[in-house]
Amino acid sequence: MPIDFHTHILPEIDDGSRNVEMSLKMLAAQREQQVDEIVATPHFYAQKDSVEEFLLRRQRSYEKLKAAMAEKNLDQKLHLAAEVYYFQGIGSAGMIPKLCVEGTQILLLELPFAQWNSAIYADVEKLVQRQKLRVVIAHIERYYEFQKKKEIWDAVMELPVYRQMNAGVFLNWKRRHKAFQLAKDAGTIILGSDCHNMDNRHPNLAEGRAVLAKKFGEAFLQRTDRLTAEVLQ
């Protein structure tokens, strides 16, 4: 069963779904694509938010959506999580485990859209080695063009981290060549739609999966599904 690992489907919490109605439409679109397990990953920016406030807002948003889902007989499984934006020192920040996918040690980490430096590497390494978190790097395809010097990129990717890619990149004929390369290098990826709304960033997991199946075969998707299910346990 396909799992959407990266979504902004919770209402009124970030730049994703604007209200419950939009979230329900997004869930209906997911259902049409057989996506019945969804990780909700609202943006968390340490500069703007305290963890406690974020978790409270997320809980309120989730409860509102859950009530509306029950009325519409939508019973998809939602995992509460966050897309945590990098900040210097994140590797030693004690509150980070609270932002993992609920009930797991899995952290979806968004890295800077700029040349990565050794401080970034050191922080990711600490998250993995010292805090013992299982780090999923969000949409790896979005940073690559900024890495004129590839050393840090290579070093980060050599850490035991998981690589998440957005389904949409495989639908973009200008960008998918590089994306196929990244997926191939990864061997196994975690897929997400990174859906924000119902127009330009709508749920599109099934479309992306179809392209991947054609390119790499069904076995590629099976590995993706197995890995995603395994990390969520």
Q: Applying CB under 5 A, which residues contact Fe ion? A: 83, 194
- Nearest distance from residue 194's CB to Fe ion, in Å? 4
Phi, psi angles (nearest 5°) of residue 135: -95, 130
Which of 22, 155 has the CB closer to Fe ion?
A: 22
Q: With respect to Fe ion, which residue has the nearer C-beta, 113 or 158? A: 113
Report, in Å, the least distance between residue 83 CB and Fe ion: 5
Q: Please, which residue, 43 or 215, has the CB nearer to Fe ion?
A: 43
Q: From 64, 67, 85, select the one nearest 13 (Cα to Cα).
A: 64
CA atoms within 13 A on the CB side of 160: 9
**Would you give the distance in Å from CA 215 to the centre of its chain?**
22
| Cα distance between residue 231 and residue 233, in whole Å | 6
Nearest to 133 by CA among 104, 112, 95: 104
- Give min distance, CB of 42 to Fe ion, in A: 9
- Between 65 and 216, CB nearer to Fe ion: 65
Strand 83-85 relative to strand 3-7: parallel, antiparallel, unpaired? unpaired
CB of 154 to Fe ion, least distance (A): 24
CB of 122 to Fe ion, least distance (A): 24
Nearer of residues 141 and 194 to Fe ion, judged by Cβ: 194
Inter-residue contact 82 to 59 (CB < 8 Å):
no
- Distance of alpha carbon 208 from alpha carbon 10, whole angstroms: 22
